Amino acid sequence: MRARLTLICSGVTPAARHGAFPADEALDDRMPGMTVALKPLLARADRILTGPELRARQTAEALGLVAAPSETLRDQDFGRWTGKDIAEVGQAEPQALAAWLGDPNAVPGDGESFSAVMGRVAGWLDDLRGAAGHTVAVTHAAVIRAAILAVIGAPAACFARIDVTPLSLTDLRGDGRRWTLRQQA
């Protein structure tokens, strides 16, 4: 049974351009026009999913995709840090920020650790592994990092070593037993 999963990272928001922890906000005005080059790469899909956040749903719309929201594809929860500048959090909670940057089990602002995101995504990948056909999922950098680490069997501590850019595509292939990372563009 062959499965393909194309993960698309949502576009940039104004807060992200200023170095803030993401909130549920709209895309930067320039983002919808930047999706034009991706549309031909997504010609056929059996399932189209999106994270529930506005920026993910708007990215899917800009790509011309009719997507079903999936709670599993939600972004990492940053708790009280949500919407705050990273520099502001660094001033107010330097030890907590340093811990979060280096420890996948650290919980950012009473939110969700990266290890928890990785567990959520690994379970979803296990469920999806047996689904034949092509799934397209518009989601967030943390979810895509978690998927990559799960597929290659790398420890959660490597999460900060993967840079997932807005509107990037990550292609995974499954044979019913395991996933492989085909490419990241």
Q: Which domain holds residue 38?
A: 3-175
Residue 32 domain flag: yes
SS3 55: helix
What total number of domains does the chain contain?
1
Residue 183 domain flag: no
Tokens of 98: 């340093």
Report which of 20, 27, 44 is spatially closest to residue 166, judged by C-alpha positions: 27
Mean pLDDT of the chain: 91
CATH code at position 97: 3.40.50.1240
The per-residue pLDDT for range 42-94, each reduced to its tens digit, is 768 899 999 999 999 999 998 889 999 999 999 999 999 999 999 999 999 99
Residue 184 domain flag: no
Residue 108 domain flag: yes
Model-level pTM greater than 0.85?
A: yes
Residue 24 domain flag: yes
